[in-house]
């Protein structure tokens, strides 16, 4: 799984926001706001980490059980795929 080209995480007015910077940048329907944990996961996936590697990084960063981190990453990845932000 990887983040689709044309989408970028930006900090705007103290919020983490994913924006479309590609040819469809006028389409704001895929603009989403991310909390800190989701932004951390986005950054991991953005640099090519696998969901498994991302889950390990989340568990380590936030001091949570690996199983919880894995479930959170799977849910986040499913949402990205559903919204067309990842492939």
| Cross-strand partners of 3 | 86
Question: Could you tell me the residue ranges of all domains in the chain?
Answer: 7-82
Position 31 scores a pLDDT of 78
May I ask the CATH architecture of the domain 7-82?
Answer: Orthogonal Bundle (1.10)
- Residue 48 to residue 28: CA distance in whole angstroms: 25
Q: Which helix (H) or strand (E) holds 17?
A: strand 15-20
Round to whole Å and give the CA distance between 52 and 49. Answer: 8
Q: What is the pTM of this model?
A: 0.89
Burial of 83 (0-12, 13-18, 19+ CB in 10 A): middle
* Strand, coil or helix: 53: helix
Give, for all 87 residues of the chain, the pLDDT tens digit.
Answer: 899 888 999 998 999 999 888 766 656 666 789 999 999 999 999 999 999 999 999 999 999 999 999 999 999 999 999 988 999
């Amino acid at each position: 799984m990887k983040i689709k080209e044309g989408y970028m995480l930006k900090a705007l007015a103290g919020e983490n926001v994913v924006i479309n910077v590609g040819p469809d940048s006028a389409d704001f329907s895929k603009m989403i706001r991310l909390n800190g944990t989701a932004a951390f996961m986005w950054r991991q996936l953005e640099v090519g980490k696998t969901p498994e590697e991302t889950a390990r990084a989340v568990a380590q960063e936030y001091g949570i059980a690996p199983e919880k981190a894995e479930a959170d990453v799977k849910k986040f990845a499913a949402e990205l795929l559903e919204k067309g932000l990842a492939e």
